Structure 1
C-alpha cells in the first residue's frame, strides 16, 4: 500500500496561504522529507536538494515551498 505524499497532506492542511513559504528548521525538515541529516547534506552537496537559508551564525533553515517541491519530485519518479 502506498504511503500518502507528505507534501500533498501538508498542502491540504495549510492551503496555499502565505505560510506556505515559511522557513523550517531541521526537525521539521526531517519530518517533511523523511531523509536523514547526513543524506540531506550529501544531496545538497550534489545540488539535488534545496539549499539551506542561513538564519544566523549558528542556525539554518529551508524554505517550505522548496522542500515540498522536492518531496513531490521524489514521488513522480
Structure 2
C-alpha cells in the first residue's frame, strides 16, 4: 500500500459502508477488501470475516461506530 495512504481512514470508510448492509439487527454483508475487514475484526468492530458466511456480525461498539461514521462521512452538510 502507498505510504501516503492511511489504513485507519480506509477502515473508517469501510466500517461506515458496512452500516449500509445492516440486516437482521447486527449482521452486515462482507463484500469489502479482506485486509480492511481483517483490521476491523482485530479492532473489535466485527466478527471474524473468515469463513463461508457471506455476512459478519457487528460488535455493539462496531455497530454504533459504523452508524456514527456513516453520518459523519455521508450526511449532507
With the shorter chain as reference, the TM-score category is 0.3 to 0.5
- TM-score w.r.t. the length of structure 1 is 0.35
Q: Point out the structure with the larger helix share.
A: 1
- TM-score w.r.t. the length of structure 2 is 0.35
The structure whose RCO (Cα within 8 Å, separation 6+) is larger is 1
